[in-house]
Amino acid sequence: MSRNKTNSMGYLDLAADFPAAHEKTWRALVEKSLGPETFEKLTSVTYDGLEIEPLYTGEDWQGKPDPLGMPGFTPYVRGDTYLAAAKSGWDIRQAQSHPDPEKANKQILEDLEKGATSILLEVDPRGKNGVMIQSLADLETTLSGVHLDLAAVALSPIGPSLPVAALLMTLLDQRGARAQHFAGNFGADPLSNLAVNGKLIVSLPESLARTADLACYVSRKYPEARAITVNALRYHSAGATEAQEIACSIASAVVYLRSMTKAGLTTDEACRQIAFCYAADANLFLTIAKLRAARWLWGRVAEVSGAAGNSCASSIGAMASPRMMSSRDPWVNILRVTVACFGAGLGGASNVTSLPFDSALGVSGAAACRIARNTQVILQEEAFINRVIDPAGGSLFLDSLTNRLAETAWLLFQDIERAGGMEEALTSGVISEEIHKAWLERAKNISQREDPLIGVSEFVDLNEEKLGVEPIDTDAINARGRKRAAGAKSDVKNLPAAGDGLLTTALVASARSNATVFAMTSALAGKPTTIRAIPQHRLAEDFETLRHAVDMHAATHGSLPKIFLANLGTIAQFTAPSTFAKHFFGAGGVEAVGSKGSNDTSTIVRGFKQSGAAAAVICSSDEIYQESAATVAAALKKAGSMVVYLSGRGGLLEQEYRRAGVDEFIYAGSDVLQILRDLHRQLGI
């Protein structure tokens, strides 16, 4: 074999010694092995309507210019720096949301000591969805021992961002941290806050002006920091498709860009104030394509807006999707988060936040935080994902998917612009309506198990070990906070109008004078903006509601509700439909108990009575159903079965089976969720 053949670029051509492969030959082999109709069935479709083909060839790009460019160069699809592989890797960002500042600090120090390189600080002054930071003393406690000029802190406030940002700026000043080295993010994103909370404390134009004021201040004082994080996760968690998530984020960033340039920043300065955070989920390839497409589109927007050079490169972070996390069989979340972080790394995220596997249950435990942190450490230190520039580059499938996703997202972005921009699209309900449509389609597929959820709608463990959840006493945490902040100011007066950083300067002065978050928020309040909030979802929520109802039922009655598997015929005839039925009803928390199989109706009925079940499902082959299903159904009803199911389709005999006593048929594609809800009602759950 020759070892010296090179291609036109001078690189070794590894394929030179092999005969050329042709798509027709490949398809002929597929059809011969799997049948003539199989090839078309191998094509899947995303929620954006993008077809995923089973094979991609160079012909897909033939005659077209390469739109993806080179790493480190416009349009930044393949990464925002050519030397990415020479760096230590993406920023391992760990989220912290424990309401107690003291416990949050303990976990933050643990994270930074053992692998994390930055912190995402989720702040909620009321302690419901984040660290209860109400004063400078609370923030000092939370970040005690953290070297702010070394470990970046990104804020993610619930509610107005300026008061919390002012506290962090004051803390930076007090510690003498070198401002030029602080590389965090102050977390302003009024549009997504409006979308999720349904309210801003002032008008939207005023809120945007204040965000621009913050950006002006940050641009001058913290050259490595950013004022704004466009949090696309909030649209993702509402049910948005990948293209919708990108379009909403780009449209939001355009609004902020306009506000900042109006406030006096240059386009280059304004672009450097914006960071993005996207959801990374268990769909590996769409995660990769989404991050690449988002970089592409923002680079194009920045370029058209007048930015030049590296100002067109975006800071795109990723966070494991809260939407995909389940509270049932939460250990499966470890696998979901691993895939998400892997995809984020391959997609070129500048920072990645993994979620602890128990995050859907409440405040995460130390062990879960350790696993979340180490997931990324292993990807970098053992799998070396960070040492390759654009690992997805050159994959015809991923390059094509990136291209088509970018095109689709761009069209949606243009629709938002035509609707009056993101401000008008949000307040008019256009965004909410379109995302809700996408969620309904997804929810339907989840209900029918077309989108299976392992451990939730498929392969359920009814005897799973219950994880303990730390009880949170917000009153006690609040009392300790008041003690720390003794003497804090409860009012703030004479704040200037937003403009050129003047408002932020005044708020920092107020924070330095020990003003609380509530005092600053009250002083900032005006005529509020209200819309209908976009609800946040988790994929497993409806099935989890059923399981929770069963838990309460079992606590009262001493055991799980049962359904009897009326197995007819031989083991070969009933095993498949019986296994299907077991997992089907297990998704609703109903325990399947069954017989060894019999052709004798009286034996089946006797087994049902002994089982203690209140419902039954007949399981066997179509041939046995034709012989015995009607008789067995009638006998089970007579024996007291409240509901009788048949595992399979009724076919031509469906009406005969129904007349005999079969209430419902269960099969792949039936509405699992609705059938389980009906069963719960029948059983009084």
- pLDDT tens digits, one per residue of 192-239: 999 999 999 999 999 999 999 999 999 999 999 999 999 999 999 999
Q: Which residues are CB-neighbours of 71 under 8 A, at least 6 positions away?
A: 78, 79, 81, 82, 84, 389, 390, 393
Predicted confidence at residue 12, as pLDDT, reads 65
Report the share of the chain in percent with pLDDT over 70: 94
Do both 309 and 183 map to the same domain?
Answer: yes
Query: How does residue 430 score in pLDDT terms, banded at 50, 70 and 90?
Result: very high
Mean pLDDT lowest for which of 85-99, 246-260, 278-292, 639-653? 85-99
Is 120 in a helix, a strand, or coil? Answer: strand
- Do 574 and 543 meet the contact criterion of CB atoms below 8 Å apart? no
- pLDDT tens digits, one per residue of 526-569: 999 999 999 999 999 999 999 999 999 999 999 999 999 999 99
- 328 within domain boundaries: yes
> Residue 668 is part of which domain span?
542-683
- Is the pLDDT confidence value at 587 over 60? yes
- Is the pLDDT confidence value at 83 over 50? no
- 658 within domain boundaries: yes
- Do 642 and 682 meet the contact criterion of CB atoms below 8 Å apart? yes
- Is the pLDDT confidence value at 10 over 80? no
Domain end position, chosen among 387, 414, 447: 447
- 275 within domain boundaries: yes
Instruction: Give the helix/strand (H/E) hosting 172.
Output: helix 162-175
Do both 326 and 187 map to the same domain?
Answer: yes
Here the CATH number for the domain that contains residue 670 is 3.40.50.280
Domain end position, chosen among 422, 447, 472: 447
- Our count of domains for the chain comes to 2
Taking the C-alpha atoms of residue 95 and residue 101, their distance in angstroms, rounded to an integer, is 14
Mean pLDDT lowest for which of 82-96, 254-268, 330-344? 82-96
Do both 235 and 368 map to the same domain?
Answer: yes
- 610 within domain boundaries: yes
Domain end position, chosen among 426, 447, 468: 447
- 28 within domain boundaries: no
Predicted confidence at residue 85, as pLDDT, reads 42
Predicted confidence at residue 468, as pLDDT, reads 84
Here the CATH number for the domain that contains residue 238 is 3.20.20.240
Do both 419 and 563 map to the same domain?
Answer: no
Do both 350 and 244 map to the same domain?
Answer: yes
Taking the C-alpha atoms of residue 555 and residue 557, their distance in angstroms, rounded to an integer, is 6
Predicted confidence at residue 23, as pLDDT, reads 77
* pTM check: above 0.85: yes
Taking the C-alpha atoms of residue 50 and residue 23, their distance in angstroms, rounded to an integer, is 21
- Cα 132 from chain centroid? 24
Predicted confidence at residue 3, as pLDDT, reads 53
Maximum distance among all Cα pairs of the chain, rounded to whole angstroms: 87
- Do 573 and 596 meet the contact criterion of CB atoms below 8 Å apart? no
Query: How many C-beta neighbours within 10 Å does residue 60 have?
Result: 14
Do both 125 and 268 map to the same domain?
Answer: yes
Query: How does residue 36 score in pLDDT terms, banded at 50, 70 and 90?
Result: low
Taking the C-alpha atoms of residue 410 and residue 430, their distance in angstroms, rounded to an integer, is 17
- 486 within domain boundaries: no
Mean per-residue pLDDT, 581-593:
95
Q: Which residues are CB-neighbours of 432 under 8 A, at least 6 positions away?
A: 195, 238, 426, 531, 532, 534
